[in-house]
Structure 1
Amino acid sequence: MNDLLLGGQTAVVTGAGSGLGRASAYALAQAGARLVLLDRDAAALGEISKDLGSAAACHVVDVTDASAVDTAFADIPVCDILVNSAGIEGPRGGLEICAPADLRRVMDINLFGGLNCIQAAVPKMKAAGKGAIVNIASTAGLVGSARLGAYGVSKAAVVSMTRSLAISLAPSGIRVNAVCPGSIDSPMFDRTLDAASAEADRAHMISIHPLGRLGQPEEVAQAVVYLASPASSYCTGVMLPVDGGRLA
């Protein structure tokens, strides 16, 4: 499976301090990639930097700040792979009760934060004549969500962005795909549970996945590595569910 090896390639990972971004960073490092890690949490970046050592360079960046993103990318000479993992879950409940400010905040991070990084990375990829962009979307972006309305809308936008960019960037040799996780055992998932009945809510979420369990961040990370690697060289515009059969 040499096509899954990423030796000599530089991967930029956003939201690398925790959750799926952190798991993706470790998986990409194991595949041989050099890493540039972006997160707004300096302490979290410090922890992962200790683990990965010289294989990772770290930048404390808020991806919603386009100027800060551009400054960070100015220090990155090569970007072969971009993994957009920075994101938040937003408020519980349907859009009919979502405050506009809350929706804007979710969209700013989940959609525009990723787009800021894409716009900074694409010139470097075009100069190289190749590149791979992997966005972290969600099954909530593929079906309606009354549970997390704002989150679902933001991830549906990520899905549409991924498809549009896959078409527009294909002539430049840049592939754009997305991983669509289902319910993943993570702090973000825990924050989405009903505080009044968290255990019952967790059990319900497990029950709607045919494999009968929550996914693990490492399982999502392996899908990221696949879409970032030459093993998926004929894949672009793909929305890859990692969801325990939820959408089957």
Structure 2
Amino acid sequence: MRLANKIAIITGAGSGIGRATAELFARQGAYLILSDIAEAVEETAARIGPAAVPMRCDAGKEEDVAHLVRSAAARFGGLDIFHANAGISGGLASIFEQTPEDWQEILRVNLIGPFLAIKHAAPLMKDRGGGSIICTASVAGLRAGAGGPAYSASKAGLINLVQLAATQLAGSNVRVNAICPGLTETGMTRPFYDHARAKGHEDRLGHLNPLKRGGEPEEIAQAALFLASSESSYVNGHALVVDGGLSVSHPYNKQDWGVTSA
């Protein structure tokens, strides 16, 4: 029970990585405030049972995030973990096709949302002697080619925000880290998966990484569990990449290297 009696908030818990993380944290003994803008968060909580409280929330809206933190304190007596997981993709339109309004909304959810999580969760965690804040970033924040312009920029900003927050919380014992998933089947990426399956190209999903496959939400949840637990007690300001090896190299064609088999 690596999170026995810990109190955690997870945003974007209605599906995908958020739901997988909620179920894993619950199995490890945590009490949960689960939030999502979609009503599916209630299904996630129902799957877990009385240890999980569902709340509808806009993760990029300050009053909603502040209410989540107050609810954790009122319901369970404090807060130990905040997984700022909610995010939106905004599609793959180019810079020349997107509008300032597109950018404002994507940055509001993907970057301002985690900022609000840190702002409101860290003081409560500090009062309890420490805690762990985990932000879901992306390999798209590491370099170009893995997402749309505004999405990629928001995730790059999030990685920097994590580093900045870790330094500004020095001495508080509140750790702030990010997870950078590669291609993972979630609600956000489902259209890509559905399109590939409809075309009979499912085997091409994730084919650019050395593992030659996409990830599963449960695999990202395991990374979140590590960062939430005491096992990562000396990990701070870090962007943990979970992408099958995609980001270790620029994609290449094996034939260019004269390699025909493993």
- Going from structure 1 to structure 2, the CA distance change for 1:140 and 1:166 (only over 3 Å counts) comes to same
- Determine the structure 2 residue equivalent to 1:32: 29
Three-state SS of the structure 1 residue aligned to 2:166 is helix
- Determine the structure 2 residue equivalent to 1:105: 105
Return the alpha-carbon distance in structure 2 between the equivalents of residues 97 and 201 of structure 1.
28
Structure of higher RCO (CA pairs closer than 8 Å, 6+ residues apart): 1
Does residue 17 in structure 1 map to residue 14 in structure 2?
yes
Deviation at 1:22, TM superposition (A): 0.8
Three-state SS of the structure 2 residue aligned to 1:135 is strand
Deviation at 1:246, TM superposition (A): 0.3
Deviation at 1:145, TM superposition (A): 3.2
Return the alpha-carbon distance in structure 2 between the equivalents of residues 232 and 124 of structure 1.
20
Contact 2:81 2:131 in 1 (8 A): yes
Return the alpha-carbon distance in structure 1 between the equivalents of residues 177 and 185 of structure 2.
23
RMSD of aligned C-alpha atoms?
A: 2.1
Gaps of 5+ in 1: none
Does residue 55 in structure 1 map to residue 41 in structure 2?
no
Q: Which of the pair has more CA radius of gyration?
A: 2
- Going from structure 1 to structure 2, the CA distance change for 1:26 and 1:197 (only over 3 Å counts) comes to closer
Return the alpha-carbon distance in structure 1 between the equivalents of residues 4 and 176 of structure 2.
20
Structure 1 window deviating more from structure 2 (169-178 vs 195-204): it is 195-204
TM-score normalised per structure 2: 0.87
Deviation at 1:205, TM superposition (A): 4.5
- Determine the structure 1 residue equivalent to 2:218: 218
- Give the length in aligned residue pairs: 244
Larger relative helix fraction: 1
Residue identity opposite 1:162 in structure 2: V
Deviation at 1:12, TM superposition (A): 0.6
Residue identity opposite 2:63 in structure 1: S
**Matched residues, percent identical?**
38
1:160-239 alignment to 2 at 5 Å?
A: 160-192=160-192, 199=199, 204-239=204-239
Residue identity opposite 2:6 in structure 1: Q
1:107-126 alignment to 2 at 5 Å?
A: 107-126=107-126
TM-score normalised per structure 1: 0.91
Structure 1 window deviating more from structure 2 (67-76 vs 118-127): it is 67-76
